[in-house]
Structure 1
Amino acid sequence: MTKPLLIVGSDTGVGKTVLTAALAAYWLTYRDRTASRNEPSTSLGIYKPLQSGEGDREFYHHTFSLSQTLEEITPLYFETPIAPAIAAHKEGKAINLALIWQHFLKLQQQKECLLVESMGGLGSPITDEYIVADLARDWALEVILVVPVRLGAISQAIANVALARMEKVKLRGIVLSCSQVYSEEEMEELAPPQMISRLASTPILGILPYVKDLHDISQLAIAASELDIERILI
């Protein structure tokens, strides 16, 4: 059984969903002993506690054979595609922290591998007074930080690592995510792994390559195999 893992981003649209999907595909392809062509996996759980607007939970539900309903993937859903704390206020709803905690505990007990995708980054608000870093700390989750390969990657990585340390979040490492195919020279110019690791004093757990078809489980699993997977799925 692996430890539950929280996947957060240094910003929006940086590859959290891609990494979560790649790790899920890797688990289903290489580690899931319960997998069957005709039956959904009972060992893998994907959890996104809150979501605003259609997107990730629908993608996971349609791409992977999971023994989870949409509501089990995401128990708190808002129609307005903005930050959940703002969407809840706009729709006259409450953020029920106890509810998402109870759903997490249930999945943790049921699943061998539980991947939790964050609502944005460590500093993203869940309520008016509670951010993702608070949730990571309170739920005792180890965290993978996804940093995109683009200008600004270095400062984003350093700032998010600093926040993790300030909030006493256990950061397992950083994954650099590619939104297109980059040469080694471009990688070094935009997001040099050794420099980021040194300045942030945090290990780089690999570079997630560009995945053309996010619905292709074999492509996703191959992408995950490029990472230091034994340090991620532990």
Structure 2
Amino acid sequence: MQTLFITGTVPNSGKTLLTKILAIYRQTYFSEKSLGIIELIQKEKHENKLLESFLSNSSSNTKIVNCQLPDFETLMSLNDLCSNLLGELWEKLSSLQKELDFVLVEGANSLGSPITKELLISDIVGIWYLPTILIVSVESGALNQVVANIALAVKNKVNVKGIILNCICPLAQEKISNLVPVNLVQSLTHIPVLGILPYIKDTEDTKELLNAASEIDLEFLFY
């Protein structure tokens, strides 16, 4: 896979964290390869810790761009959006795909987020057929969220390659299994669970992020 779209079941499920983990892994073990990161933002521009971190620490063969999507209060018509913003985004993505070895796209909010009065983010990801990873925060109700998101993905032909669970707080393995049973998730969705991210106290600690990367089936993603 040359491009990977990262989305979550809910806005704060861990998309940025997973993007950082995968990017740092590639920078560490594929240092000779170029990397692009596109961040889709669906609110007023904010202080971007991910962008700042990579601009100060990343190698010269990493390129990061962001794209502002309309928020829920300023949704425009499909024609207006397609004539400018979506065309611009596709051009950015196509350009990075041609220029770089690998591109990570961090989605805004979730697959069910509207970007026009007619389209959801899942519609665009499905049309562009981007290989997609769904990250799930391990919490009460997570199983229902996974099933709903995968059902939406199937409806809109989103190419979901795998699911990654994210512990947003310290949890024992038994508690994780009770909240999001891996076998049941795979049985209900027919999508493989590629790993469980442990709780990460310091998300700026490269060593912690690389340790977390070892919990993911990276061969499935990168080899």
Q: Does the TM-score normalized on the shorter chain lie above 0.5?
A: yes
- Alpha carbons of structure 1 residues 226 and 188: separation in structure 2 relative to 1, 3 Å: same
Provide the C-alpha distance between the structure 2 equivalents of 1:214 and 1:206, rounded to a whole number of angstroms.
18
Residue of structure 1 equivalent to 2:140 = 151
Aligned counterpart in structure 1 of residue 203 of structure 2, from 184, 198, 214: 214
Contact 1:45 1:66 in 2 (8 A): no
- Alpha carbons of structure 1 residues 144 and 189: separation in structure 2 relative to 1, 3 Å: same
Report the Cα offset of residue 69 of structure 1. Answer: 10
Q: Does 1:73 align with 2:62?
A: no
Report the Cα offset of residue 50 of structure 1. Answer: 3.3
TM-score (norm 2): 0.87
- Alpha carbons of structure 1 residues 101 and 13: separation in structure 2 relative to 1, 3 Å: same
- Alpha carbons of structure 1 residues 106 and 26: separation in structure 2 relative to 1, 3 Å: same
TM-score (norm 1): 0.83
- Alpha carbons of structure 1 residues 53 and 167: separation in structure 2 relative to 1, 3 Å: same
Residue of structure 2 equivalent to 1:199 = 188
For structure 2, which runs of at least 5 residues remain unmatched after alignment?
Answer: none
Provide the C-alpha distance between the structure 2 equivalents of 1:179 and 1:222, rounded to a whole number of angstroms.
16
Q: CA RMSD in A?
A: 2.3
Aligned counterpart in structure 1 of residue 51 of structure 2, from 61, 64, 71: 61
Report runs of 4+ in structure 1 exceeding 6 Å deviation. Answer: none
Provide the C-alpha distance between the structure 1 equivalents of 2:42 and 2:206, rounded to a whole number of angstroms.
23
Provide the C-alpha distance between the structure 1 equivalents of 2:39 and 2:71, rounded to a whole number of angstroms.
12
Contact 1:76 1:100 in 2 (8 A): no
Aligned pair count? 215
Q: Does 1:233 align with 2:203?
A: no
For structure 1, which runs of at least 5 residues remain unmatched after alignment?
Answer: 35-42, 78-82
Provide the C-alpha distance between the structure 2 equivalents of 1:148 and 1:196, rounded to a whole number of angstroms.
13
Q: Does 1:116 align with 2:108?
A: no
Percent sequence identity is: 36
Aligned counterpart in structure 2 of residue 182 of structure 1, from 163, 166, 171: 171
Provide the C-alpha distance between the structure 1 equivalents of 2:105 and 2:91, rounded to a whole number of angstroms.
14
Letter of the aligned partner of 1:53 in structure 2? E
